[in-house]
Amino acid sequence: MNELDRAAAAIETGKLVVYPTETVYGLGADALDPAAVEAVFAAKRRERAKPISLAVASVAAASAVVRLSDRERQFADRFLPGPVTLLCERRESVPDVLVAGRDRVGLRVPDCEFALSLAERTGPITATSANVSGRPAASRVDELDAEIRERAAVVVDGGETPGSASTVVDVSEGRILRAGLEAGTIREWLDRAGHSRP
């Protein structure tokens, strides 16, 4: 059984997986399984009031979990896959615990072959950094917190990642909520779209 098989099998049975992305290492679980999402919060010691994003294998696959406006679809077609988290309206299949009861969820389509393959095999997975909240994110597996290693059924070593966070964007408001990779290019797109706000 290769690493992708092992990671997919773990997620499909409600377990946690550390996986590489084009930003930092992520902590993956079945994003539509409330118990698995709870396990992610517990492993990270993350406040339940702070939502967790989800990752899917393609923009097309996103339609099962989110509703994209025309502008959001244009944005997604331009920037995804990529180091971007797009806030959009969630569908009923997305559990309250993932989004802290909010109507919107952060959507990722990672520009990373392993992460995409994993999400293609399992369906939506959690897309949150594999670290205890408040500690630095890991760009190599040897930087992982011991607590995260202990909670993860599988740790996939994909080598060193860029180490920068994704840029979080609310296209409906024309706003960058967290500047990370490609933030400048995204700001230009929002400016051209005519709805950029500070």
Query: Helices 183-193 and 70-79 sit at what angle, rounded to 10 degrees?
Result: 150
Residue 86 CA to residue 179 CA, distance in Å, equals 12
Predicted pLDDT at 159: 97
Count of all residues that appear for the chain in the document: 198
- Quick check: is 172 in a domain? no
- Quick check: is 196 in a domain? no
- Quick check: is 176 in a domain? no
- Quick check: is 85 in a domain? yes
Predicted pLDDT at 193: 81
The bridge status of strand 125-129 relative to strand 26-28 is antiparallel
The share of the chain scoring above pLDDT 70, in percent, equals 98
Query: Helices 113-122 and 3-12 sit at what angle, rounded to 10 degrees?
Result: 40
Query: Domain range spanning residue 26?
Result: 3-164
pTM above 0.85, yes or no: yes
Predicted pLDDT at 73: 96
**Single-letter residue type at 17:** V
- Quick check: is 175 in a domain? no
- Quick check: is 23 in a domain? yes
Q: What is the pLDDT of residues 87-108, one digit of tens each?
A: 999 999 999 999 999 999 999 9
Residue 82 belongs to domain with CATH number: 3.90.870.10
Residue with token string 């180091």: 83
- Quick check: is 57 in a domain? yes
pLDDT tens, the chain, 198 aa long? 899 999 999 999 999 999 999 999 999 999 999 999 999 999 999 999 999 999 999 999 999 999 999 999 999 999 999 999 999 999 999 999 999 999 999 999 999 999 999 999 999 999 999 999 999 999 999 999 999 999 999 999 999 999 999 999 999 999 999 999 999 999 999 999 875 555
- Quick check: is 81 in a domain? yes
Structural domain count of the chain: 1
Burial (Cβ within 10 Å: 0-12, 13-18, ≥19) of residue 111: middle
**What one-character DSSP code corresponds to residue 80?**
-
Residue 104 CA to residue 87 CA, distance in Å, equals 6
